[in-house]
């Protein structure tokens, strides 16, 4: 990990009328890191990305992105950022090569042909370069979008739910490419709803209703939550989950395959509650909480705080 901060912002805030979409967020990301930006739909993730790359002007806050002031030097930031949106935004009646040539024109790249060739080769698109974008599967559209984002050799890559609707093989290949890019010094900020993708990131930040609830490595995020989780295996898990719901210390009960995860923030109380359930037919074992357990816990705790 580089000591250099690619992103170093504080108090970043964006309002749309009376609604505060992003509420005084502080975030630091080191150069070469992959930072996963998580949160429910409508939590402010996309708005924050657009503020970082200069597409939206912050109403409050300060800091730098790639060494440039996020408020006063947004035009300079745009030249060094690749932004991959949720929706495929390229010309479907143009070929892959033609779309990349268009992207090269937009960035005023001097030797467009060389840049397009290099981009095709890097993402394994050369054999399909004459294929129309509208004929591509989700995975190949994803590769085209990534190639276009990289054609101007950015220093920061912003990816907004880049693997939504993509099959597992294409997702794995995509993340392999992202880690290779990070290894070459590219900084990546990626929004995702997939917990397995979150675990592939160097650091995580979790946002809810515009507020940053937690950030750090996967291990740090789990530890900061202070959540205790037990795994229960046995017969009639559905009936068992109904019995457990609402008991002292039980904050959440969720099915994970052939087991239940039972979690709460008072480990002693929860352990006492679960003790009578341990029988020869039912196995009760304390485990490390997973990211999904933690994020649901954070969401519910924040909702309870708002309600009170």
Q: Return the pLDDT at 154.
A: 94
Query: Mind listing the pLDDT tens digit for each residue in 87-107?
Result: 777 888 999 999 999 999 988
Reply yes or no on whether the pLDDT at 210 is more than 70.
Answer: yes
Domains 32-51+71-206+213-222 and 226-307 share a fold: no
Cα–Cα distance for residue pair 283/1, rounded to 1 Å: 41
* Antiparallel, parallel or unpaired: β 187-191 and 34-38: parallel
Alpha-helical runs (H) found in 107-261: 112-122, 138-150, 168-183, 195-198, 218-225, 237-244
Reply yes or no on whether the pLDDT at 304 is more than 80.
Answer: no
For the sheet with 228-233, list strands across it: 252-256, 259-264, 228-233, 283-287
pLDDT band at 2 (very low <50, low <70, confident <90, very high): low
Give this prediction's pTM. 0.88
Domain ranges of the chain: 32-51+71-206+213-222, 226-307
**Mean model confidence pLDDT for the chain:** 91
CATH class of 226-307: alpha beta
Burial 188-215, CB ≥16 within 10 A → b, else e: bbbbbeebebbebbbbbbbbbbbbbbbb
CATH T-level assignment (fold) for domain 32-51+71-206+213-222: Rossmann fold (3.40.50)
Q: Which two tokens stand for residue 5?
A: 């901060």
Cα–Cα distance for residue pair 8/23, rounded to 1 Å: 16
Cα–Cα distance for residue pair 157/154, rounded to 1 Å: 7
């Amino acid at each position: 990990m580089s000591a250099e901060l690619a992103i170093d912002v504080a108090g970043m805030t964006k309002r749309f009328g009376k609604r505060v979409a992003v509420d005084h967020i502080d975030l630091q990301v080191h150069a070469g890191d992959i930072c996963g930006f998580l949160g429910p739909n409508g939590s402010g993730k996309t708005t924050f990305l657009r503020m970082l790359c200069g597409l939206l002007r912050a109403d409050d806050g300060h800091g730098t992105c790639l060494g440039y002031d996020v408020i006063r030097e947004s035009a300079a930031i745009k030249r060094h950022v690749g932004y991959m949106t949720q929706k495929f935004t390229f010309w479907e009646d143009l070929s892959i090569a033609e779309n990349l040539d268009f992207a090269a024109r937009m960035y005023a790249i001097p030797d467009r042909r060389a840049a397009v060739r290099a981009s095709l080769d890097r993402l394994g698109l050369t054999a399909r370069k004459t294929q129309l974008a509208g004929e591509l599967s989700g995975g190949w559209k994803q590769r085209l979008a990534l190639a276009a984002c990289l054609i101007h050799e950015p220093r920061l890559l912003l990816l907004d739910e880049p693997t939504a609707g993509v099959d597992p093989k294409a997702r794995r290949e995509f993340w392999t490419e992202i880690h290779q890019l990070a290894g070459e010094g590219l900084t990546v900020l990626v929004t995702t709803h997939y917990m397995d993708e979150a675990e592939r990131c160097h650091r995580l930040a979790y946002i809810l209703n515009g507020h940053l609830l937690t950030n750090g490595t996967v291990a740090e995020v789990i530890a900061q939550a202070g959540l205790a989780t037990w795994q229960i295996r046995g017969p009639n898990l559905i009936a068992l989950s109904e019995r457990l719901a609402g008991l002292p210390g039980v904050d959440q009960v969720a099915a994970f395959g052939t087991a239940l995860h039972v979690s709460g923030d008072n480990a002693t109380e929860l352990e006492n509650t679960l003790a009578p359930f341990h029988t020869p037919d039912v196995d009760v074992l304390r485990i490390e909480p997973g990211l999904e357990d933690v994020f649901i816990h954070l969401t519910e705790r924040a909702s309870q705080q708002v309600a009170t």
